[in-house]
Amino acid sequence: MEHKSLIGHDGAVHEGLLNSHTGFLIDVACDAGRYSVVHHYERLDPARVTDAPLSCPACVAVSPHTAGPLHRGRLALRYAEDVLARADSRGYPPALDDEGLRLAFVALAVEDPPSRRLYALIREHLADMLTDRALAAPEGIPQVLVPYTRYTGGTVQAPVGPGDRLMRDGVASGHFPIVRVEAVKESPTSVTVTVREKDWHPFTWSARELGRYFFKLDRAPLPAAER
């Protein structure tokens, strides 16, 4: 999540909360909403970004330096951490669409579930946390990189390690199998990655081929029983 001071239509300087990979404006810290800064169907105008201090009283009130109400971004982070912890305890990643988030709050029995308006921020925090996890380099194995696409936008190169789930890009075949990485090995002449699709024999790819045909889904946490 990225924070920037933005000049609103009303002339006040609000705190904007943006996607750190695409620059998309998700919300402002106060109740004014993103349309206080952008127009419908328009991108954020770079001319609205400013170095000036915040002047919107509501945005100032939730700044970390005051003991006011909880900042929208931090409130969303708290919810996102709960959603991820629950997903980890089940052993597979959280659903990031609106309905998936709604069901997660039902399952978590959150007393005062967040409003739909907060979902985009919660989703962005979750996308950030899952990206950090996907980018964490496994220790002691040779580096092999494959593309990883963040749920809320932006593609990065992520290292591959045992336990990772990859999807084969089947745009030509119409078949998109999901495989799990079993081993990454280095010989004097090459680096290879062994993957296994459920119920099939393991298959070994060169690092170069792997980066060309596969992208990373996630580093799925182990089910609680295997930890």
- Give me the helix-helix angle, 119-135 and 72-90, nearest 10°: 60
CB-nearer residue toward Zn ion: 30 or 118: 30
CB-nearer residue toward Zn ion: 61 or 145: 61
Q: Does 56 bind Zn ion (CB under 5 A)?
A: yes
Please count the residues of this chain forming the interface with Zn ion, following the rule CB under 5 A: 6
Q: Does 62 bind Zn ion (CB under 5 A)?
A: no
Selected range binding Zn ion among 11-19, 166-174, 179-187, 201-209, rule: CB under 5 A: 11-19
CB-nearer residue toward Zn ion: 76 or 158: 76
Q: Does 14 bind Zn ion (CB under 5 A)?
A: yes
Selected range binding Zn ion among 52-60, 80-88, 141-149, 182-190, rule: CB under 5 A: 52-60
Q: Does 48 bind Zn ion (CB under 5 A)?
A: no
Q: What stretches of the chain show up as alpha helix (H) in DSSP?
A: 57-61, 72-90, 98-107, 119-135, 207-213
Q: Which residues contact 92 (CB under 8 A, 6 or more apart)?
A: 220, 221
Instruction: Please list, residue by residue across 158-178, b when 16 or more beta carbons sit within 10 angstroms of its beta carbon and e when fewer do.
Output: bbbbeebbbebeeeeeeeeee
What is the 3-class SS of 23-82, one letter each residue? CCEEEECCCCCHHHCCCCCCCCCHHHEECCCCCCHHHHHCCCCCCCCCCHHHHHHHHHHH
Selected range binding Zn ion among 54-62, 87-95, 105-113, 170-178, rule: CB under 5 A: 54-62
Residue type at position 162: P
Shortest Cβ distance from residue 97 to Zn ion (Å)? 28
Selected range binding Zn ion among 9-17, 79-87, 102-110, 164-172, rule: CB under 5 A: 9-17
146 SS3 class:
strand
Shortest Cβ distance from residue 28 to Zn ion (Å)? 5
CB-nearer residue toward Zn ion: 62 or 181: 62
- Residue from the set 30, 118, 120, 207 that interacts with Zn ion by CB under 5 A: 30
82 SS3 class:
helix
Site residues, Zn ion (CB under 5 A): 14, 30, 32, 56, 58-59
